[in-house]
Amino acid sequence: MIKGWLITWCQKQAETCKYWCCNQSNVWEIDDCPENSILLYPWEVEHTSKSLLDCISIKNENFFWGKLWYCKKEKFDQSKCDEKLNLKSLDCQSYPFFPRIVNWMLKLAIDSRCPLHINTNDLKFHHDIVYKNRSQLIKNDKSIAERISSISLPTYHIVEYI
């Protein structure tokens, strides 16, 4: 990911979306469905400082080989988009997109609840960055494609940019 661009992009979009991606549908403490949480890949846990992990609450320790987590509201201010203060996992960096495999090809699905308009140039650019990043990830580890394909996300739908 191009984190510098992502931080600027997030801050620019905040007026429209009010940091929707960090909201997790206001079910922080009770719901462990994947649409209302963030996926933490195994290597992210290993490479994340204890102080950043203290800002999150892991709700499912073994979700399709990863972990589902929520932000601890009292310790986590993602609105500052500072990766030194807040965990910016791959799932966070990719939002509102999540990878899907369709006919053995990588596609990106978008969270239909995201308030950003899917036809904006910024969102298309973000889509392209996420697609490139996820393509490389899957190329490096083929098992990721199988695992992400198993995750049910009913509010997400495949998006194509021309």
- The total of other beta-carbon atoms located within 10 Å of residue 57's CB is 16
Q: 24: buried, middle or exposed (CB in 10 Å: 19+, 13-18, 0-12)?
A: middle
Q: What is the separation, in whole angstroms, between the first and last Cα of the chain?
A: 21
> Percent of the chain, pLDDT > 90?
8
Question: Band of the pLDDT at 1, cuts 50, 70, 90?
Answer: very low
Considering 38-42, 128-132, 152-156, the range whose residues carry the highest mean pLDDT is 128-132
Residue 30, pLDDT above cutoff 60: no
Find the helix or strand (DSSP H, E) in which 109 lies.
strand 105-111
Average pLDDT score over residue span 5-13: 73
60: β partners:
68
What is the overall mean pLDDT for the chain? 77
Which three-class secondary structure state does DSSP give residue 153?
A: coil
According to the model, what pLDDT value does residue 106 have?
92
Range list of H helices, the chain? 3-17, 20-23, 42-46, 50-53, 90-94, 121-140, 143-149
C-alpha distances (whole Å) from 142 to each of 14, 18, 151 are 35, 35, 16
Model-level pTM? 0.81
In angstroms, the CA 66 to CA 42 distance is: 5
- The total of other beta-carbon atoms located within 10 Å of residue 74's CB is 7
